[in-house]
Chain A
Amino acid sequence: MNGPVSAGRWSRRVLAVHTAFIYLFLWVPIGVLAVFSFNTGRQTAVWRGFTLDWYHRLLANEALLAAVRNSLLVAALTTLLATVIGTLAALALRRPETPGRGGTLALLLLPMVIPEVVLGAALLTLFGALGLRLSLTTVVIAHVVFSVSYVTLVVRARLAGLDPALEEAARDLGAGPFETFRRVTLPLIFPGVAASALLVFTLSIDDYVVTSFVAGVGSTTLPLHVYSMLRVGVTPEVNAVSTLLLAGTIVLIVAAQRLMRVSSSEGDRT
């Protein structure tokens, strides 16, 4: 915008218009979806007035509420397990001399890049071979598998920004390994750990593909339930559920971003 490389006025305008258009492209569909969840009419493309009816109906929908409960339970368990496992791994991977470091890094990369269909199919094969009944347990296992890598990724980034001299200073001042972890390392990486927990919660509560393979009768999660509603057709109830899920995700993601930003700017200042 300034300096000798300032683009010509015309090309700058084209760029701005294009960017604005893409932002509209990204947000208008979601926005319209949310707006029409408050629409009175059942023929949902015309605005007929404001109502909260559809939300009320959701509250009366037992199957949907059961799915919400399942999803929350799965997400909470997944978050707990994945965050602990992933954080421990991140701590170990920090040391270049840790045995099996390279292999573990590669192993952690794979679940993030492998197509979800493949993961779902493979887990279904395993559970079939083990004779394990598909249930919320199998869903939690599947979710932990694809979440651990994200935790490790975020916490490792946070650890990389941690000055090793801080832990050396703690040791020099008398703190043993556990004390150093509890009083210095953990408080300093905590924003990263919390952010990764929020991300895992989001990933888990939103997942459809992998879950669709490993969920059995009675372990329907919210996305599975929504999907079955969608296949039947477009209804205002679906808009309402979607809007709620969307709002929940936005809150979680904004919170996670805040945490990650706080942590990194703190690191800058010291």
Chain B
Amino acid sequence: MPLSVEIRRVTKRFSDVAAVNEVSLDIRRGELFALLGPSGCGKTTLLRMVGGLETPSAGTIHIEGIDVTEVPPHLRPAHMVFQQYALFPHLTVADNVAFGLRYKNGGRAGWSTKVKEALDLVRLAGMEKRLPHQLSGGQRQRVALARALVLEPKVLLLDEPLAALDPQLREEVQVELKHLQRTLGISFLFVTHDREEALGMSDRVAVMRHGRVEQVGTPAEIFERPATRFTAEFLGATSFFTAEVASLVDGVATLRLPAGLDLQVPRPDASLRPGDRIDFVVRPEKLRVRVERPAEAEMAVVPVTVEESIYQGMGTTWIVRGPAGERFVAWEQNAASVLDEPSALRPGGAAFLCWHPRHTVVLGGGGDA
């Protein structure tokens, strides 16, 4: 499949700090792609470089196969929806949407039709004469979308598209944006710091940290198989284990925990060697805390002490301590009402932390988070 955006070893330095450091990414045609990371990770700078609002210090950017690294913003087939929308406060909705048409080839002839089509697309027909401050937050966002889309970009760039909206509106707008993207068939590249947003909206996600890409994958891939400790933590996993690879037989690795417990893990990382010291993570919802040692032989089990339970309605979070004092967090859905079936676990009491070995995720480098 041809690529919509190709980012090759792009670096952006502000004075001496590399905000974006040797990033390479491919965004396919018709893809909803998220750049996810904490503030200051370089995701917005990367987006602005694709839009042409910043020039890379090194590296190249291609859009639809054409090198646009030095091309000014408006000559790229990529347009931007700004975080606070940046609607011109002195212009009406229609004039805002028509703003860029003036600089496109072709006369004024088609303007009004194009503006009307764009406003229809975002369901703002009839609002042409309003000024930005007379609109609700959601409407403003749709004007910003129409203003960019009327120029028929091949890539739409969105900077934190949901951040300026009321929380109640966000879910609705997520669905709308996804729908819009499917209708248009162009690619959307958006920036977010919110993992729910990235998981719920995108086809693929790039997790960024300190100006570098930590991992690229589908939402399920980055969620279930984080490659690094940072990605795992950013997506809410907090139980990390250290182990030694005891043996490798027929694609099954035996991992030995410091407490002397052995653990059989299928599908190990191909690079593992016996004797390696490795880190692995298990997501909280995959962990169980039990008073009795579970009967199933294949379950991984670590004896722990219960430190705290946090009742959260839909589920309960258990904070437990391992044999060497390590802190693990498990989350269990409250499938039955705790009023009917109170837990036998008590803070300070002994328990067993267990999980199915296939939920063991061995982490690669960059695990110094």
Q: Which residues of A contact B (CB under 8 A)?
A: 163, 165-166, 168-176, 179, 183-184, 187-188, 266-267, 269-270
Q: Is the Cβ of A270 less than 8 Å from the Cβ of B132?
A: yes
Q: Chain B 40-82, CB within 8 Å of chain A: the 1/0 string? A: 0000000000011100000000000000000011110001101
Residues of A within 8 A of B99 (CB): 170, 173, 175, 183
Q: Is the Cβ of B89 less than 8 Å from the Cβ of A172?
A: no
A190, closest chain B residue (CB) = B90
Known A-B contacts A163-B84, A168-B53; the reply to A174 vs B74 at CB < 8 A is yes
The tally of CB-CB contacts under 8 A between chains A and B is: 73
Residues of B within 8 A of A269 (CB): 89, 132-133
Distance in angstroms between the alpha carbons of A176 and B84 in the assembled complex: 22
B99, closest chain A residue (CB) = A173
Q: Is the Cβ of B86 less than 8 Å from the Cβ of A163?
A: yes
28 pairs, A vs B, C-beta closer than 8 Å? A163-B84, A165-B82, A166-B88, A168-B53, A168-B73, A168-B82, A168-B86, A169-B86, A171-B73, A171-B74, A172-B51, A172-B52, A172-B73, A172-B74, A172-B80, A172-B100, A173-B74, A173-B79, A173-B99, A173-B151, A174-B74, A174-B75, A174-B151, A175-B100, A175-B103, A179-B103, A266-B89, A266-B90
Distance in angstroms between the alpha carbons of A27 and B188 in the assembled complex: 62
Which label, helix, strand, loop or mixed, suits the secondary structure of the A interface? helix
Within 8 A of A (CB), among B62-121: 72-75, 79-80, 82-84, 86-90, 99-100, 102-104
B218 to chain A, nearest CB (A): 30
Extra contacts besides A168-B73, A173-B151, A174-B102 (10): CB < 8 Å: A169-B147, A171-B53, A171-B73, A172-B79, A173-B99, A174-B74, A175-B99, A184-B88, A266-B133, A269-B133
Indicate which residue in A166, A172, A183, A270 contacts B133 across the interface (CB closer than 8 Å): A270
B103, closest chain A residue (CB) = A174
Indicate which residue in B82, B90, B102 contacts A169 across the interface (CB closer than 8 Å): B82
Residues of A within 8 A of B133 (CB): 266, 269-270
Q: Is the Cβ of A171 less than 8 Å from the Cβ of B82?
A: no
Q: Is the Cβ of B103 less than 8 Å from the Cβ of A187?
A: no
Q: Is the Cβ of B73 less than 8 Å from the Cβ of A188?
A: no
Distance in angstroms between the alpha carbons of A266 and B133 in the assembled complex: 8
A265 to chain B, nearest CB (A): 9
